[in-house]
Amino acid sequence: MNLMADILLNVIIAFLVGSVLFGLQRKIMARIQMRPGPPIIQHLLHTFKFFIKESAFPKTAAMPFYIAITAMLCAIWVAAVIVGPVTEGSLLLFFAIYALHKIVEHNAGSSSGSPYGKMSCVRAVFSAAAELPLFAVLIIIYLKTGTMNIGNIVTYQGHYGPLIWGIPLAAMMFFVLILSKAPYSPFAITKGKDIISGYETEHFGLLRGYLMISESIAWYMLLWVFLTVFIGGLSPIGYLIGMVLISALVALINATTPILNPNHSIMVQVSLAFIGVLGSIILLTVY
C-alpha cells in the first residue's frame, strides 16, 4: 500500500479505537461506581463536538504558540503512529516522542496564561522526574533482546515467547506509565480536578478538539507498544482484546483510587520504578 495511505489509515484507526476505548473506560468506571455512565461513544462525540464549537482565545495567551502547541501535540502522536504500526521502527524513537509529549504538555499549560495551566505546567515538569525510569525499561528490553527495533523485538518473541514472562517488572513499569496517562488515574496530576482540566483548561473549540484527537491516538499507541513489545505480534483481534482488557483494568484502578497528591504520585511512581529496575537487573542476572 502507498505509504501516505497507510499512515492515514493507521492514524484514523488509532483515533477511532483510542476514542472508543476512552469511552469504554468511562463506562466501566461509572458501572463500578454504581452509575449508568455515558454511552461508550461519548468521548468520540465530545471530540467531534469541539470542532463545531466557537473557538475563543484568552487575552493572556502567548500567540502563536498557544495555537501551534495543539498542532504539535497532534503531529508528535501522528509521528508515533508512523514509527509504530506503519514502519515498526525503533523503540528509541517512540520514547523520544513520549519525552516530547511531556514538553508539549508543559508548554500547553504555560502558553495560555491561566493559573491552572501554569500549575499543570509545573506538575508536568515535576512528573517528568518519575518517568525517567521509562528509559530504564528501554535498557532492560535492549539487554534482554539485543535490539530496539520493534520488528526485531516481535521476531525475538516469536522464538523465545512473550517478553512479559522474561521481564515482568519492566512490563509493570510500562503499565504504570500507561496508567499515568489515563484520565482520572491516581497519577494524572497534570489533569487533576483540583486544577480544573490542567493544561487543557484554556484551550477551547477547535484547539481542544485537536488535543482530544491527540490524546486518543496517544492512548491507542501506548497500548499498542505495550502489547507489541511485551506480548508480541498479535492479530488485529488480539490487539483489540488486549487493548480492551488493559483499558478495563485501568478503569478498575481509576474508579477505586483517588488522584494522588503530586508528591505522593511521584513517590509511588519512583518507588515502583526502583523496584522494577532493581528486580529486573536481578532477574536478568539470575536467568
Partner 1 sequence: MDNQIIYLIYILSFVIGSIIGLVLSYKKYTEPFIKKNIDMVALILAIIGWILVLNNPLFMVIPYYITITIGVFLIALVIGMRPGYGRYETVIGFSVAGIIWIIRMGLT
Residues that bind partner 1 (CB under 8 A): 1, 6, 9-10, 12-13, 16-17, 20, 36-41, 44-45, 236
Q: Where are the alpha helices (DSSP H) in 52-167?
A: 65-81, 91-111, 115-128, 133-145, 150-160, 163-166
Give the nearer residue to partner 1 in terms of CB position, either 13 or 206: 13
What is the closest distance, in whole angstroms, from the C-beta atom of residue 248 to partner 1 in the complex? 15
Dihedral Cα 60, 189, 40, 49, nearest 10 deg: 0
Give the nearer residue to partner 1 in terms of CB position, either 16 or 103: 16
What is the closest distance, in whole angstroms, from the C-beta atom of residue 86 to partner 1 in the complex? 10
CA distances 223 to 81, 218, 243, Å, are 12, 9, 6
Instruction: Report which of 268, 271, 74 is spatially closest to residue 185, judged by C-alpha positions.
Output: 268
Give the nearer residue to partner 1 in terms of CB position, either 132 or 241: 241
What is the closest distance, in whole angstroms, from the C-beta atom of residue 41 to partner 1 in the complex? 4
Instruction: Report which of 219, 229, 213, 287 is spatially closest to residue 251, judged by C-alpha positions.
Output: 219
38: left (phi over 0), alpha (psi -120 to 50) or beta: beta
What is the closest distance, in whole angstroms, from the C-beta atom of residue 48 to partner 1 in the complex? 9
- The x, y and z cell numbers of residue 155, run together, are 521476531
What is the closest distance, in whole angstroms, from the C-beta atom of residue 251 to partner 1 in the complex? 16
Say how many C-beta atoms besides its own lie within 10 A of residue 34's C-beta.
Answer: 7
As a whole number of angstroms, the distance between CA 113 and CA 116 comes to: 9
Give the nearer residue to partner 1 in terms of CB position, either 216 or 280: 216
What is the closest distance, in whole angstroms, from the C-beta atom of residue 212 to partner 1 in the complex? 15
CA distances 125 to 99, 120, 190, Å, are 11, 9, 9
- Measure CA of the first residue to CA of the last residue in the chain; give whole Å: 42
The DSSP annotation for 180-226 comes to HHSTT-TT-GGG-GGGTTGGGTT--HHHHHHHHHHHHHHHHHHHHHH
What is the closest distance, in whole angstroms, from the C-beta atom of residue 80 to partner 1 in the complex? 17
Give the nearer residue to partner 1 in terms of CB position, either 40 or 128: 40
Give the nearer residue to partner 1 in terms of CB position, either 45 or 278: 45
Give the nearer residue to partner 1 in terms of CB position, either 14 or 273: 14
